[in-house]
């Protein structure tokens, strides 16, 4: 039987997010193989938001995690992760939430990012008030122009200031190169080298100034193989654990398998060559143009329209499908797709064996 | 103070979905005014997914609802709605879920759509097996080419077949004209008339054939004013209850107020004219191109980039904003935006007064 079909598929209501356990396992082992050692990995959990998957990573020796929200950090803490970086500057009420989190889960070492003097001082004050010391990474802008400070003297001064700010402990540098996703491996490597030259020079500048840089957390998925070659940093791939066709098509050098599929059903047949599926943009990430999902059964069928709960595709093979038939889709971008579901259906040995809750709320308890 | 600012804003973690109660109330009263009588309304709950808002509608005399998922239908039943149409053909395990729902909430009359003989027979069989009679509407395709059958002889035969299918009771016709969203009122009306001519002719054809058509459920938001003029149908506006700038810009003839805002904060200032906000495409619907959100403070600031948790905008006024400052955004498309949140922060009298849970799960209990 095809790997993507479930023996008990008739029991799984659609639309559903399927997680193929054996494929996740394969992806995790490949990640460790590329990094050389699980201790060098700090995978991003925003891709999957699954506590049981954090537990599986811990069992394989991965004990550091990166996340984007306080809820994701709490999910990691609930899974007994010892080291969690919230890779987002804490502002407003999230400062107090971060302190609350650190107090609630003392066995987990939480850290976050700084790139602004005012926000850093507010964070230090809140930590002191809570009787805590929070770990902080200086966030470096290495070309994405999203968050972070450019390497240079101003950044050095901020870093130095952090080392003397009560309530804070400087953990090192964070540099995310999410703007680099060139398909061509040679070009991608050149872009990576250009982006990381200033980061590495800045680290030297800090060290020359007598400022210790305990850790450098570097990169996302497309540059993961390059960062992995260097033993002086932690690697933060994200999508690698579930993979998707956006990265699979672009980064053929990367040995990962699509491990998350969307189960959809034909709900109507509007016209001779069309199928309407129950997979609207409330069920598959929509920030990219179509195709937002590629069906294994109909990989070339173009999307004619998509609304909140419907996707109409066109195919000369429409007559082969009846209302109620299933299709299996690989999402183009799996991370925000997962965030649309409340639970994942876990597949093992070709059958749906249960569900995992997805921590997609913005707030768990804190 | 500006209507959109909260006196206790510093306590609301961002990103957050704010629902302004007085504005919702105003929108509901306008809906009733346009319809002439709350009994003529069957508003779509997919826009808000809020049980407390269903309760508010019930208090105003609106007692019929339309929804897209079984979870939304259950949310309505939990709020004691007496009449709920699931405007989606039931296939696969959703057939059994629908039967379970009907048995669990006997005080609510559930109905659904049919447009395919095979799916209809499966539905009837399941109802008989469950000891139920399910109400069904024949879904007519009036031009959207998404679900539904074209008016005509084949449709008439399906309708006739439904009247003799055990387990089913024919409730009438459903015709959604979601493809009509012309800004120009005259053009929009002409498109509506063209689309609905065949629907009305088909109803006559059914009646001439001795087939009763108890109810016609018609239209979405842009054609709501036209359908409201006719007393022979139920109106199903959706977005009207919360409104958004997508419809507000296009349909200036409609008297609704934006009642849902997104609260965002500046998390970084990447470059002189740029602000990075904590409002990624996991926090605002992304199926449309930018602008996906319009900030009241910076209505013309273009989006430079958006990722899962970040939005970078450009403005010559960036220097006026510090890291931690709030901005208030009207979403372009509120329905899928609401579905990204777990809870809504309810605003009354200019202050956040509590939260409402959003029923965004695909499954509540059934």
Question: Could you count the other beta carbons within 10 Å of the beta carbon of residue A87?
Answer: 25
**Mean pLDDT, chain A, whole residue set:** 97
pLDDT of residue A1 exceeding 80: no
Q: Which of A68, A282, A335 lies nearest to residue B336, judging by beta carbons?
A: A282
The burial of B279, by beta-carbon neighbours within 10 Å (0-12 exposed, 13-18 middle, 19 or more buried), is given as buried
pLDDT tens digits along B211-270: 999 999 999 999 999 999 999 999 999 999 999 999 999 999 999 999 999 999 999 999
- Is the interface score ipTM higher than 0.95? yes
- A104 contacts chain B (CB < 8 A): no
Range list for CATH 2.40.37.20 in chain B: 9-16+256-357
CB A211 within 8 Å of CB A5 = no
- A122 contacts chain B (CB < 8 A): yes
The stretch A2-10 carries a mean pLDDT of: 96
In chain B, what's the furthest Cα-to-Cα distance? 72
CB B360 within 8 Å of CB B32 = no
What is A58-104 written as a DSSP string? HHTT--EEEESSHHHHHHHHHTT-SEEEEEEE--THHHHHHHHHHHH
Chain A residues in contact with B287 by the CB 8 A cut-off are 281, 286-287, 306
CB B9 within 8 Å of CB B263 = yes
Q: What is the predicted pLDDT for the residue at A186?
A: 96
pLDDT of residue A29 exceeding 90: yes
Q: For chain A, how many residues are written?
A: 366
* Residue B254, CA distances (Å) to B27, B31, B34, B236 in order: 10, 10, 10, 15
Q: What is the predicted pLDDT for the residue at A147?
A: 98
Binned at pLDDT 50, 70 and 90, residue A152 comes out as very high
pLDDT tens digits along B96-108: 999 999 999 999 9
Q: What is the predicted pLDDT for the residue at A248?
A: 97
pLDDT tens digits along B132-173: 999 999 999 999 999 999 999 999 999 999 999 999 999 999
Q: What is the predicted pLDDT for the residue at B271?
A: 86
How far apart CA B208 and CA B238 sit, in angstroms, is 33
The stretch B56-85 carries a mean pLDDT of: 98
pLDDT tens digits along B190-218: 999 999 999 999 999 999 999 999 999 99
The SS3 assignment for A156 reads helix
- Which of 3.40.1410.10, 3.30.200.20, 3.20.20.10, 3.30.390.30 would CATH assign to domain B21-242? 3.20.20.10
CB-CB under 8 Å, B287 with A281: yes
The stretch A336-345 carries a mean pLDDT of: 98
A134-140, strands of its sheet edge to edge: A64-67, A83-89, A109-114, A134-140, A168-175, A215-218, A234-235
Q: What is the predicted pLDDT for the residue at B314?
A: 98
Range list for CATH 3.20.20.10 in chain A: 82-236
Binned at pLDDT 50, 70 and 90, residue B1 comes out as confident
pLDDT of residue B71 exceeding 80: yes
Residue among A189, A108, A198, A109 at smallest CA distance from A152: A198
Domain A9-16+256-357 classification at class level: mainly beta
306-345 in A: which are within 8 Å (CB) of B?
306-310, 312, 322-324, 326, 335-336, 339-343
Binned at pLDDT 50, 70 and 90, residue A195 comes out as very high
Binned at pLDDT 50, 70 and 90, residue A174 comes out as very high
Chain B residues in contact with A141 by the CB 8 A cut-off are 270
β-bridge pairing B109-114 and B83-89: parallel
The stretch A26-42 carries a mean pLDDT of: 98
* Residue B243, CA distances (Å) to A117, B20, B184, B214, B262 in order: 39, 11, 18, 31, 13
What is A82-236's CATH topology? TIM Barrel (3.20.20)
Q: What is the predicted pLDDT for the residue at B265?
A: 98
Q: What is the predicted pLDDT for the residue at A175?
A: 98
A291 cis-preceded (ω within 30 degrees of 0): yes
User: Which tokens is B211 given?
Assistant: 């087939």
199-218 in B: which are within 8 Å (CB) of A?
none
57-76 in B: which are within 8 Å (CB) of A?
68-69
Query: Choosing among B303, B308, B310, B313, which should be mutated to test the A contact, i.e. which has the most A CBs within 10 A?
Result: B308
Q: What is the predicted pLDDT for the residue at A71?
A: 98
Q: What is the predicted pLDDT for the residue at B164?
A: 97
């Amino acid at each position: 039987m095809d790997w993507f079909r479930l023996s008990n598929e008739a029991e799984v209501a659609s639309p559903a997010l399927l997680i193929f356990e054996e494929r996740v396992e394969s992806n995790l082992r490949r990640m460790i193989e590329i990094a050389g050692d699980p201790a060098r990995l700090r995978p991003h959990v925003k891709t999957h938001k699954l506590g049981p998957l954090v537990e599986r990573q811990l069992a394989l020796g991965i004990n550091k995690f990166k996340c984007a929200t306080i809820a994701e950090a709490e999910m990691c803490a609930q899974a007994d992760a010892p080291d969690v970086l919230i890779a987002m500057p804490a502002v407003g009420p999230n400062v107090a939430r971060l302190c609350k989190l650190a107090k609630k889960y003392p066995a987990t070492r939480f850290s976050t990012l700084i790139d602004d003097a005012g926000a850093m001082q507010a964070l230090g004050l809140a930590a002191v008030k809570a009787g805590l010391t929070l770990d902080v990474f200086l966030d470096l802008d290495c070309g994405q122009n999203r968050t972070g400070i450019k390497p240079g003297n101003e950044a050095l001064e901020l870093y130095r200031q952090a080392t003397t700010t009560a309530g804070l402990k400087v953990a090192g540098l964070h540099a995310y190169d999410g703007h680099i996703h060139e398909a061509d491996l040679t070009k991608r490597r050149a872009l990576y080298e250009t982006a990381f030259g200033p980061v590495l020079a800045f680290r030297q500048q800090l060290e020359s100034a007598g400022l210790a840089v305990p850790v450098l957390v570097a990169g996302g998925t497309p540059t993961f193989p390059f960062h992995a070659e260097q033993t002086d940093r932690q690697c933060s791939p994200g999508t690698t654990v579930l993979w998707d066709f956006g990265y699979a098509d672009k980064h053929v050098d990367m040995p990962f398998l699509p491990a998350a599929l969307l189960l959809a059903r034909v709900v109507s047949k509007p016209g001779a060559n069309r199928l309407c599926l129950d997979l609207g943009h409330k069920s598959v990430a929509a920030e990219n143009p179509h195709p937002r999902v590629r069906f294994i059964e109909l990989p070339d069928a173009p999307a004619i329209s998509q609304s909140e709960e419907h996707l109409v595709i066109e195919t000369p093979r429409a007559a082969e499908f009846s209302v109620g038939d299933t299709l299996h889709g690989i999402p183009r971008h799996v991370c925000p797709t997962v965030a649309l579901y409340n639970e994942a259906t876990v597949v093992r040995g070709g059958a749906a064996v249960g569900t995992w809750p997805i921590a997609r709320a913005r707030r768990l308890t804190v």
